[in-house]
Amino acid sequence: MRVIGSLRQLSPAPMVLPRLQRLLTNPNSSLFDIVELVRLDTGLTARIIQISNSAWFGRGEHCQTLEEAVNRVGFHQAHQLVATAAASAVIEKSLPVYGLDSKTMWRSSVACAFAAELLAAQIREDVAEAYTIGLLHAVGKVAVDSYFRGRMPVVSLSDDGFPLEYTVSEKAQLGFTQADVGACMLKNWDFGPLAVEAIRSQYAPSEALLPYDRMAAVIYGARLLRTVVCQGGEGQPIRADVGALDSLRMTETELFGFIPDLRALMTKARQITEIR
């Protein structure tokens, strides 16, 4: 795909995430295995140490090494630490083609990750994988923005709000959406079919290949919750797709019931950037 071809300069850090997922599902894995996975990437190592010293994770002495950072948070919490650090290379970017600054992109991605985690836990899907997929749900926008930036005439994509978001504008300009691009990127990064299909089908979870429709519905629902929390109630009232609700086995009221928890998690998440 020509859009992905314009991304040779993108950091390869997210490529550690599929291997991290396999470590977490292996009962014989240890914190040492996580350290061995990321220690050869100096940029990722530095970011993990930085986050471990944030107000969110920080306690006691200042961490100086990757081993100290991972030990501080523990085995399962290390997934969020490594995933957030690895994905920061692509989610902390300004995307002028979309009219998004880096702060908005980060907030949207992290909110979707937390929301996906909450929904996955409710329907007994893989929580760690849901967090990662939610974190990277808009990664295709980075490739699309890179492709269009500097081209003439200047391209500006428009947001139609949830659930379509930028898809109408993307299809008019490219013939496909950022979700299609993101799915290709995850496949190239060696993510499994669950993540690839959930990203591809995030706008239409009922069209996802079985058995990945439930995770696609999780990401759809996470996008909805992310939109409500990040927009702060602005815009038109948001309604959930009936098919997605059926896959989640939730009513609309039950889905919106996760909003207070998500807001609390986002308040906590902002402490990530408060480096001691």
pLDDT tens digits along 104-124: 998 999 999 999 999 999 999
Determine which of 14-23, 28-37, 54-63, 172-181 has the lowest per-residue pLDDT on average. 54-63
104 and 73, same structural domain?
no
The length of the chain in residues reads 276
pLDDT band, residue 53 (cuts 50/70/90):
confident
Q: Residue 29 falls within a domain, yes or no?
A: yes
168 and 269, same structural domain?
yes
- List, for residues 166-208, the tens digit of each pLDDT value: 999 999 999 999 999 999 989 988 889 999 999 999 999 999 9
137 and 190, same structural domain?
yes
Tokens describing residue 77:
């919490």
Give the phi and the psi of residue 267 in degrees, each rounded to 5: -60, -45
* pLDDT, position 224: 96
pLDDT band, residue 275 (cuts 50/70/90):
very low
Q: Residue 6 falls within a domain, yes or no?
A: no
* pLDDT, position 235: 52
* pLDDT, position 168: 97
Tokens describing residue 96:
């002028």
70 and 182, same structural domain?
no
Three-state SS annotation for 64-88:
CCHHHHHHHHCCCHHHHHHHHHHHH
192 and 130, same structural domain?
yes
Examine the pLDDT at 36 and tell me if it is beyond 70.
yes
Position with higher pLDDT, 241 vs 13: 241
81 and 103, same structural domain?
no
Last residue of a domain, one of 91, 111, 136: 91
Examine the pLDDT at 97 and tell me if it is beyond 80.
yes
pTM score of the predicted model: 0.86
Q: Is 135 helix (H, G, I), strand (E, B) or coil?
A: helix
Phi-psi sector, 122: left (phi>0), alpha (psi -120 to 50), beta: alpha
Position with higher pLDDT, 19 vs 156: 156
Q: Burial code of 199-226, b = ≥16 C-beta within 10 A, e = fewer?
A: bbbbbbbeebeeebbbbbbbbbbbbbbb
101 lies in which domain range? 92-276
Give me the numbers of helices (H) and strands (E) for the chain, helices first please: 16, 0
pLDDT band, residue 152 (cuts 50/70/90):
low
Tokens 């990401």: give the residue: 219
Q: From the centroid of its chain, how far is CA 227?
A: 14
For residues 156-171, average pLDDT: 95
113 and 64, same structural domain?
no
Q: Residue 5 falls within a domain, yes or no?
A: no
192 and 66, same structural domain?
no
Cis amide leading into 163 (omega within 30): yes
Last residue of a domain, one of 91, 125, 141: 91
Tally of domains in the chain: 2
Examine the pLDDT at 8 and tell me if it is beyond 60.
no
* pLDDT, position 276: 39
Q: How many CB atoms lie within 10 A of CB 97?
A: 21
Determine which of 136-140, 206-210, 231-235 has the lowest per-residue pLDDT on average. 231-235
